[in-house]
Amino acid sequence: MTLRIITFLLAIFTIIACKQEAETVANEVSTDIYEAIQEKLIDAKAGDIIEIPEGKFLFDRPLSLDGIANVTIKGAGMEKTILSFKDQQAGAEGLKVTADNVTLDGFTIQDTKGDAIKLQDCEGVTIRNVKTTWTNGANPTNGGYGLYPVACRNVLIEHCEASYASDAGIYVGQSTNVKVLKSYAHHNVAGIEIENCKNAIVTKCKAENNSGGILVFDLPDLPAGNGHTCIITDNEIIDNNFKNFSPEGNMVAIVPPGTGLILLAAKNVEVFNNRIKGHKTVGAAIASFHITQRKWKDDNYNPFTHDIYIHDNVLERKGGVAVPDLSKEFGKMISFYCSAKQQDIVYDGITEGEGKNPMNLCIQESKEDLRFTNVDAANDFANVSNDISAYVCSLDGLPEVIFSESEVETKETQTEGK
C-alpha cells in the first residue's frame, strides 16, 4: 500500500516537473523552429499568412522568402514574438525577402550578425508593427540596417521601431514610392535614411537619440542614380546627440553627433511642420556630395543638393553649454566656422551655376534668432556668412506619394536586361 502511494506521488511529481520544464522551453528559446518556418516560407502559396507564435525563438541561420507574391509573415505582436539571431552561424541578415506584395507584421528581430530585415526587388512592401534591435546596445559590430528595403517599389513602413543599428535604423534605398509613417527610430547612427529613392515621404515619425535623425542622401555609381522628391513632415526630430558608432568607410560615419536632418546631394525635398529640437551641432545640414571628398565615376550623377524648401518647422537648438560635435570632420567644420555655436541650419555653399541662389534653396522659418551659416566650402571657407536673405523664398509644395504600377520602369529594366 505504502509503495503504491509512493509510486503515485512520484508519478505526480514527475508530471509536474516535466510540465514546468516544457513550459520554460516553449516560452524562452526554441531552436527547432528554423526548419519549420523556413519550410513554410519555401512552400508558401500566394495569399498565405505564415504565423509565428508568441515566444522567443533562436535561429542559427537566416530566414528567407523568395518569389512568392502576396505572403504575410505575422507574429503575435512586436513584443510577443521575438526572433533572436544571437547565435547566427550563417547569412548576412536575419530575414531576407525577395517577393512581391509582402507584408511583415507583429514581431521583433534582434541581434542579427548583419542587417535585421532586408527586402530586395519587391513590388509592394508593407512592414507594420515590426521592431529591429541589438540588445547589447550601441556597438560597431551591430548589423548595419534594421529595416532595409532596397530596389523596391511601393514601400510602406508604419508603426515600426528600430534601434541600435550601426548604420541606419530604417533605411530605404534605391526604391520608388516610399512611405515611412508613425515609426520610431532611436539609438542608431542614422535614425531614418532615404537614399537614392524617388517619391518618398517620412511623416509622423520620431527620430530620437540617434547621431543623425533623418537623412536624405543621393550617392553616385549606383544602378538607381539621382533619387529625387522627398517630403519630410510632421516628424519629431529630437535630441539626436548619440555617439556615432558606425565603422569608418560607411557613408553615415561622417555624420556628426547632434544633427537633426541632413540633405546630401538631395533633390526636390520639402521639409515642413517638423519639430527639430535639442541638437548640439545642427538642426538641418544641406550639402553637396563634394563635401565628402569621395571620388566617383558616374557621368549621370548630380552631386548637388537643389530644389529644397524648408519651411514652418519648429527649430530649437539644444541650448545650454553644449558645444557642437568635435568627433567628426563635419562637426569640427561647424564648430570652427560657426564660432563653436550650435546652428539651426548650415549650408555648405557648394553650388553650380550663376546667380545668388543657383541651387534653388528656399528657407521660410519664422524663428527670430535663427542661426544660419553658409560655410562657403566651395571657396575653402573664405566667405563664411550668416546672411540668409538669398535663400528666403518659396517653392511649390510637393505632391503626395502615390503607390503606382511600374509600367515605364519595367520596360527600361527589360531593355537593360537584353
Interface contacts to other proteins, rule CB under 8 A: 34-35, 38-39, 41-43, 60-61, 64-67, 88-92, 96, 98, 112-115, 120-121, 140-145, 148, 150-151, 166-167, 171, 173-174, 219-224, 246-251, 253, 290, 292-298, 413, 416-417
CA dihedral 190, 196, 200, 206 (to 10 degrees): 0
C-alpha cell at 372: 544660419
Tell me 377's DSSP state. G
Q: Are 153 and 130 in contact (CB under 8 A)?
A: no
Nearer to other proteins, 21 or 43 (CB): 43
Q: Are 123 and 148 in contact (CB under 8 A)?
A: no
Least CB distance from residue 416 to other proteins, whole Å? 8
Least CB distance from residue 401 to other proteins, whole Å? 21
**Residue 63: C-alpha distances to residues 42, 94, 117, 175 (Å):** 10, 6, 10, 23
Least CB distance from residue 393 to other proteins, whole Å? 30
Using the Cα atoms of residue 53, residue 54, residue 58 and residue 62 in order, give the sign of their dihedral: positive
Instruction: Round to whole Å and give the CA distance between 265 and 257.
Output: 20
Nearer to other proteins, 375 or 398 (CB): 375
Instruction: Round to whole Å and give the CA distance between 188 and 185.
Output: 7
Nearer to other proteins, 37 or 334 (CB): 37
Nearer to other proteins, 4 or 295 (CB): 295
Least CB distance from residue 240 to other proteins, whole Å? 19
Least CB distance from residue 12 to other proteins, whole Å? 40
Residue that has been written with the C-alpha cell 546627440 in this structure? 241
Using the Cα atoms of residue 398, residue 399, residue 400 and residue 402 in order, give the sign of their dihedral: negative
Least CB distance from residue 108 to other proteins, whole Å? 18
Least CB distance from residue 26 to other proteins, whole Å? 22
26: left (phi over 0), alpha (psi -120 to 50) or beta: alpha
Nearer to other proteins, 114 or 278 (CB): 114
Listing DSSP states for 178-225 in one string gives: EEEES-EEESSSEEEEEES-EEEEEES-EEESSSEEEEEE--SSSSS-
Least CB distance from residue 102 to other proteins, whole Å? 13
Nearer to other proteins, 219 or 287 (CB): 219
Nearer to other proteins, 294 or 341 (CB): 294
- 183, exposed or middle or buried, with CB in 10 Å at 0-12, 13-18, 19+? buried
Nearer to other proteins, 312 or 409 (CB): 409
